[in-house]
Structure 1
Amino acid sequence: MAKRTPPEILDKQTVAKSRLFAIEALDLRFSNGEERTYERMKPSGRNAVMMVPITAQGDILLVREYAAGTERYELGFPKGLIDPGETPEQAAVRELKEEIGQGAHKLTPLKEVILAPSYFSSKMTLFIAEDLYSEKLEGDEPEPLDVVRWPLAQAEELLTHLDFSEARSITALLLALRILK
């Protein structure tokens, strides 16, 4: 298959903005002359991390957190934005301390993923976090998160758990299980 030339960006405009998000319209011209307007979330320049924490006892640590999109509490892995000046590894350890009260001496990168590349540019680096130690940092959550211990030996059962439905958490679990088995 021949390599395609990306379309030419003719114009970029912010068409809607909220306190958290900006939507950008891109006027594009493709190599065959076709022109289209695509909409996307305006790139923020900030990426994120998600960790699969594994305890010395062989448990996975998850968090139960309110998700405004689904209007319910969801079970998933600790995650968060990378602060300016932080490496993904530094952000991973900080977020673990904020969300589960544990740091990690060992991080194994799994993959960098994009949620929906048609609409978002932000990347999330997935890690396995091991050799955990107790240390709590104040986070930005509006309420304390429930930390849920789940036996690693029963990790595949999470895939059918009704509250464990976030695609990035499922991806992180499946990639982690490939390495841990």
Structure 2
Amino acid sequence: MARKPETLQAKTVARSRLFRVEQLDLRFNNGTEVAFERLATGMGGAVLVVAVTGAEELVLIREYAAGTDRYELGLPKGRVEPGEDPLAAANRELREETGFGARRLEPLHELTLAPGYMAHSTEIILARDLYEAPLPGDEPEPIEVVPWPIAELDELLTQPDLTEARSIAAIFLALNRLRGED
């Protein structure tokens, strides 16, 4: 495996309320020097929760997504606050966005988005043994909770508003784990 390039300099070249663009000046092992730009993220990362009910349903949500300027179907998700355990963050986000808590939380996998351009990761969490436990969230409007039978996964994957790659990948990771337990 190749040795990582040497970072000669890292500097912020743009900043907004949500994003920071960082320029990395790198020297590769063959002597080539290149400047890369990336979206840098804060500490903590994010969680994405695959919640499964006792009735073998996925607990999905439909909420407005500014990036696509439409309502999207997906999984509960959110930021891990500084110092917060990812499992605690997953349960908090699940409670805020769906009104359910989980007695069983299990990390499945860590996913990245466009790792060539972003330093962001999302921890995928499987949530089971659900119970009602709503918490107030920070969303500007109530989120629609959409239970979906696991047996109808093929139909779910054809929904035009289910486009987020993290949600689709997370569902398959969770189902693979659940099938392995049978």
- Compute the TM-score of the two structures, normalised by the length of structure 2: 0.95
Q: What does residue 38 of structure 1 align with?
A: 36
Q: What does residue 92 of structure 1 align with?
A: 90
RMSD across aligned positions (CA): 1.0
CA distance in 2, matches of 1:12, 1:85: 25
| Unaligned stretches of 5+ residues in structure 1 | none
Q: What does residue 7 of structure 1 align with?
A: 5
Output the amino acid matched with 1:23: V
Output the amino acid matched with 1:48: A
CA distance in 2, matches of 1:176, 1:11: 40
The C-alpha deviation readout for 1:86-108, integer Å capped at 9, x for no partner, is 11110011001100000000112
Deviation at 1:156, TM superposition (A): 3.1
Residues paired across the two proteins, number: 179
Output the amino acid matched with 1:98: E
Deviation at 1:51, TM superposition (A): 0.7
Q: What does residue 165 of structure 2 align with?
A: 167
| Unaligned stretches of 5+ residues in structure 2 | none
CA distance in 2, matches of 1:153, 1:71: 30
Output the amino acid matched with 2:172: L
The C-alpha deviation readout for 1:117-162, integer Å capped at 9, x for no partner, is 1122222111111100111111111111000011111123222211
Deviation at 1:171, TM superposition (A): 0.5
The equivalences for 1:125-140 within 5 A come to 125-140=123-138
Task: Report if the CA contact (8 A) 1:52-1:176 is conserved.
Answer: yes
Output the amino acid matched with 1:73: Y
Q: What does residue 179 of structure 1 align with?
A: 177
The equivalences for 1:31-180 within 5 A come to 31-180=29-178
Task: Report if the CA contact (8 A) 2:50-2:171 is conserved.
Answer: yes
Deviation at 1:179, TM superposition (A): 1.8
Give 3-state SS (helix, strand or coil) of 1:160's partner. coil
CA distance in 1, matches of 2:43, 2:118: 11
Task: Report if the CA contact (8 A) 2:105-2:125 is conserved.
Answer: yes
- Compute the TM-score of the two structures, normalised by the length of structure 1: 0.95
Identity of aligned residues (%): 53
